[in-house]
């Protein structure tokens, strides 16, 4: 059986989880789920790094002991990941006794091989990085990551003969060009290796720092935090004799941000070589998330907490944004405005619209049952099928080479093609002619098959949405049970299986840049005030200026001021906290958002695909905090409310005169 092993860095517990941690861990989760989809046996490791100067300082500032501080912050990381739909196999801590044992085992092994020696060193030390810097590594005399000048420090310590492995490491990287990906970061490490490589100080005297793993050969010293932390990748899977180590270490892939490239690209491979341990398969390096203030960093206090965002905008929407917005390896800019744009454009308008339209029409024309292919596919059907096959191929090819955004683009091209297919084929017209039933069956079955494949392809990125889509398509499978080849096969939907319309997958978001708040009772009452439908059998259009309450006559010029248009409802969803308002996205040649008081008589799913008449030049109004740009016309008939519709389907935006 094929195997896949993915690790995140173990996160330093001197600060709470932020969006940078979330991105790295979500990427690892996506890669792990993708390989599960291919049928691989997988192992996904994350955890926390808990020793060193910075932890002691943070604990002192909090007024607690280092272990108590580490316990608290480590628990925050452990509790955060399930809330982001992250399913890791193991969570390791560097304070775990088994990890301590393996670190000491490796240290002793390297020491016994003569690769560790004792010496006095004087240099420039950054407390934030917990390492010595050379002059050439500083930027304007400051640490490049912490923007602070290092302090001069002289100490007697133990050193690892890292310089001995410089030529070997260069040769390895040149003969294995994909050992560090993307290539820019391999080139960055090679550029660093053009200068003489110094030996690595791997200890700290207990008299200065006692919060660490004691050296097995000298109890007066503790291990340098990097020589401790990096070993987690093998200690977590039972090095040296464990079965998991034997199974998974040969296929190990590390996932890191570029700020820790040097320890992973230089320290770690030379440590492994000195210990006689085979190297990892790939080191995958991503860029920084930035805001308007610059790099997002806990050191500078500029962070975004993922659990502040996910509940507001939706967990799967948050995951989608991170993977779609960042080109792996490059920096990306984060803003809530960009997040909202992705949600509204990609998720609500594209995917949500396709799914709602497909299920609503299946319900209307085939009693919520999957129809057969009633006729031979025509050119448009085959073209859409080819687009789906191409999306599957790109998905399969791009994720292993870190092209997450490319895989998502391919999936969304498929979604866009399906939406255009609906507009062009116009199933509502086919439904009018019984002789065209076989063609309607093929069209709707084609659309259902597209939605099924899309649901499978988004499963690594948006697992909850995938399950929801599959359930509503009549497929009861967990994402871990999906298999790419089997579950993206065309025509595999069960004929006659029941589909469920349900609510919109992704409601549009109207407020960006701040947390969305649910309206209270007072706000809801205010929003509903004055919105009661008028009694009597008359269209509920606004009264133009100059018309009296008694229904005075108007002339033709005044009537012409009212811009009445035919619109096609593309998307519909109930407004939270209101029993009668529904929010519509209506196509009148351009997209309009309209809030209508028709929820008591019309379900959102039934509205999608209907043509209506609306007042297009009405001043915008806010209902329940949602802006409405027009008014749908309806007729009150006793307790019933019926929409005003054209006699036959016309082009969206047609002007009524």
* Burial letters 514-532, b for 16+ CB under 10 A, else e: eeeeebeeeebeebbeeee
The span from the CA of 153 to the CA of 132, in Å, is 9
| Domain at 3-304, CATH from 2.40.30.10, 3.40.50.1360, 3.40.50.620, 3.90.1300.10 | 3.40.50.620
- In the chain, the largest separation of any two C-alpha atoms, in whole Å, equals 104
Q: What are phi and psi of 120, to 5 degrees?
A: -105, 135
Architecture of domain 521-643 in this structure: Beta Barrel (2.40)
| Domain at 315-487, CATH from 3.70.10.10, 1.10.1030.10, 3.30.9.10, 1.10.730.10 | 1.10.730.10
The span from the CA of 598 to the CA of 218, in Å, is 78
Looking at residue 273, its pLDDT comes to: 98
Task: Answer yes or no: are the C-beta atoms of 626 and 510 closer than 8 Å.
Answer: yes
Other C-beta atoms closer than 10 Å to the C-beta of 74 total: 22
- Enumerate residues 6+ apart whose C-beta is below 8 A from 4: 31, 32, 35, 40, 41, 42, 43, 251, 253
Looking at residue 551, its pLDDT comes to: 44
pTM of the model: 0.77
Looking at residue 189, its pLDDT comes to: 97
Residue labelled with tokens 């596919």: 377
The span from the CA of 657 to the CA of 655, in Å, is 6
Looking at residue 104, its pLDDT comes to: 98
Distance of CA 551 to CAs 5, 27, 538, 548, 554, Å?
A: 75, 64, 12, 6, 9
Closest CA to 595 of 510, 478, 475, 538: 510
SS (H, E, C) 165-197: HHHHHHHHHHHCCCCEECHHHHHHHHHHCCCCC
Catalytic residue numbers read 18, 21, 126, 129, 143, 146, 295, 298
Looking at residue 295, its pLDDT comes to: 56
Looking at residue 530, its pLDDT comes to: 33
Distance of CA 427 to CAs 159, 430, 478, 527, 586, Å?
A: 74, 5, 32, 37, 18
Looking at residue 541, its pLDDT comes to: 36
Q: Which helix (H) or strand (E) holds 257?
A: strand 252-257
Q: Where are the domains of the chain?
A: 3-304, 315-487, 521-643
Q: Which residues of the chain have pLDDT under 50?
A: 296, 299-301, 512-551
Please write the tens of the pLDDT for every residue from 94-116: 999 999 999 999 999 999 999 99
Q: Which helix (H) or strand (E) holds 295?
A: strand 294-295
What distance lies between CA 89 and its chain's CA centroid?
A: 20
The span from the CA of 563 to the CA of 582, in Å, is 22
What distance lies between CA 396 and its chain's CA centroid?
A: 18
Strands (E), 296-430: 332-333
Cα torsion for 67, 92, 83, 506, to the nearest 10°?
140
């Amino acid at each position: 059986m094929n195997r896949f092993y993915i690790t995140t860095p173990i996160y330093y517990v001197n600060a709470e989880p932020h969006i940078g941690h979330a991105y790295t861990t979500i990427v690892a989760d996506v890669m792990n789920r993708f390989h599960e989809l291919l049928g691989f046996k997988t192992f996904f490791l994350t955890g926390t790094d808990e020793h060193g100067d910075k932890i002691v300082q943070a604990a002192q500032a909090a007024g607690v002991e280092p272990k108590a501080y580490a316990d608290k912050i480590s628990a925050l990381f452990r509790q955060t990941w399930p809330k982001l739909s992250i399913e890791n196999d193991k969570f390791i801590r560097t304070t775990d006794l088994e990890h301590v044992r393996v670190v000491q085992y490796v240290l002793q092994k390297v020491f016994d091989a003569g690769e560790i020696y004792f010496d006095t060193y004087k240099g420039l030390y950054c407390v934030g990085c917990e390492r010595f810097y050379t002059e050439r590594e500083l930027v304007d005399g400051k640490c490049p990551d912490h923007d602070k000048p290092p302090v001069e420090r002289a100490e007697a310590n133990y050193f690892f003969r890292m310089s001995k492995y410089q030529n070997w490491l260069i040769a390895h990287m040149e003969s294995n060009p994909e050992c560090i990906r993307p290539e820019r970061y391999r080139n960055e490490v090679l550029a660093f290796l053009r200068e003489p490589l110094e030996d690595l100080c791997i200890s700290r005297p207990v008299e200065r720092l006692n919060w660490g793993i004691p050296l097995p050969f000298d109890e007066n010293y503790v291990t340098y935090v990097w020589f401790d932390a990096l070993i987690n990748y093998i200690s977590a899977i039972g090095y040296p004799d464990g079965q998991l180590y034997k199974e998974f270490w040969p296929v190990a892939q590390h996932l890191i941000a570029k700020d820790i490239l040097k320890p992973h690209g230089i320290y770690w491979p030379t440590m492994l070589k000195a210990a006689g341990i085979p190297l990892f398969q790939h080191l995958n390096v991503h860029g920084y998330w930035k805001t308007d203030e610059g790099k997002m960093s806990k050191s500078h206090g500029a962070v975004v907490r993922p659990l502040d965002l996910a509940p507001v905008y939706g967990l799967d929407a948050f995951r989608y944004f991170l993977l779609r917005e960042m080109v792996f390896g490059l920096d990306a800019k984060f803003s809530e405005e960009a997040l909202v744009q992705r949600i509204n454009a990609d998720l609500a308008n594209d995917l949500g619209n396709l799914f709602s339209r497909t299920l609503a029409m299946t319900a209307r024309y085939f009693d919520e049952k999957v129809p057969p292919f009633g006729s031979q596919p025509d050119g448009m059907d085959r073209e859409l099928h080819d687009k789906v096959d191409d999306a599957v191929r790109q998905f399969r090819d791009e994720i292993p080479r870190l092209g997450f955004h490319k895989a998502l683009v391919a999936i969304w091209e498929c979604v866009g093609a399906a939406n255009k297919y609906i507009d062009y084929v116009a199933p509502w017209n086919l439904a009018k002619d019984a002789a065209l039933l076989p063609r309607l069956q093929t069209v709707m079955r084609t659309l259902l098959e597209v939605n099924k494949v899309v649901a499978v392809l988004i499963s690594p990125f948006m697992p909850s949405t995938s399950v929801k889509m599959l359930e509503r398509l009549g497929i009861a499978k967990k994402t871990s049970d999906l298999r790419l080849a089997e579950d993206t096969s065309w025509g595999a939907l069960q004929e006659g299986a029941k589909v469920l319309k349900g609510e919109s997958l992704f409601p549009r978001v109207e407020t960006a840049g701040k947390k969305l708040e649910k309206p209270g009772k007072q706000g809801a009452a205010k929003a509903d005030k004055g919105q009661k439908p008028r009694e009597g059998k008359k269209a509920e259009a606004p009264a133009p200026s100059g018309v009296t309450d008694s229904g005075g006559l108007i002339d033709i010029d005044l009537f012409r001021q009212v811009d009445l248009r035919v619109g096609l409802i593309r998307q519909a969803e109930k407004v939270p906290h209101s029993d009668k308002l529904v929010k519509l996205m209506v196509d009148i040649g351009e997209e309009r958002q309209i809030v209508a008081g028709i929820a008591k008589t019309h379900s959102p799913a039934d509205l999608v695909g209907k043509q209506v008449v609306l007042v297009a030049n009405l001043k915008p109004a806010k209902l329940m905090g949602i802006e409405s740009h027009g008014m749908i016309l309806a007729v009150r008939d006793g307790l019933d409310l019926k929409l005003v519709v054209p006699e036959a389907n016309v082009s969206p935006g047609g002007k009524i005169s």
